[in-house]
Amino acid sequence: MNHSHRIGFCFGATSGIITTLGLMIGLYSGTQSMLVIIGGILTIAIADAFSDALGIHISEESENKHSAKEVWQSTLSTFFFKFVFSVTFIFPILAFQLLTAIIVSAVWGLSLLGVFSYHIAKKQNKRPFNVVMEHLVIAVVVIIITYFVGLWVGRIFG
């Protein structure tokens, strides 16, 4: 995998997992509506994937180290991987009762993040445990915060 595709994969996958899980957990705790959660996932998969892709595009351009082709490869691969990883969270919602689907999604997302983190650590000759735990703790913090924000929004506006 070349630099441009690696950037897109790493950023898109990580953002797709953490953003989608945070959104799902927040929407679940605030609404407990399958329709709202699926709508949120699709919104993230489209709007946030475009936003992240543009962010990577501008970031890569600003470095002035990459060809136009490399910049576009990073842009398109970021969009693709963010979209794909975000959409995978729809399947548990369709297959299980909502609470079970949320739990399955959290396990799915955290497992993927753990596997990616492990491979990154090994590639950089770092201790995998430290890297994996760092990334998982950040993801769990996002999940906890969005859960309580969802509860708060549900109480105030529900």
pLDDT at 158: 78
pLDDT at 25: 98
Which CA distances in Å does 88 have to 1, 33, 81, 141, 157?
A: 22, 18, 11, 21, 29
DSSP assignment of 41-85 equals HHHIIIIIHHHHHHHHHHHHHHHT-S-HHHHHHHHHHHHHHHHHH
In the predicted model, what is the mean pLDDT of the chain? 96
Write down the residue that tokens 């760092």 correspond to: 134
Give tens-digit pLDDT for 77-117: 999 999 999 999 999 999 999 999 999 999 999 999 999 99
The sign one gets for the Cα dihedral 35, 39, 45, 46 is positive
- The predicted model scores a pTM of 0.93
- In angstroms, the first-to-last Cα distance of the chain is 47
> Could you tell me what percent of the chain has a pLDDT over 90?
94
The mean per-residue pLDDT over the stretch 74-78 comes to 96
Write down the residue that tokens 């998969």 correspond to: 45
Give tens-digit pLDDT for 58-73: 999 999 898 999 999 9
- Return the closest-CA partner of residue 21 out of 116, 79, 99, 86: 86
In the predicted structure, residue 3 carries a pLDDT above the cut 90: no
Domain ranges of the chain: 3-157
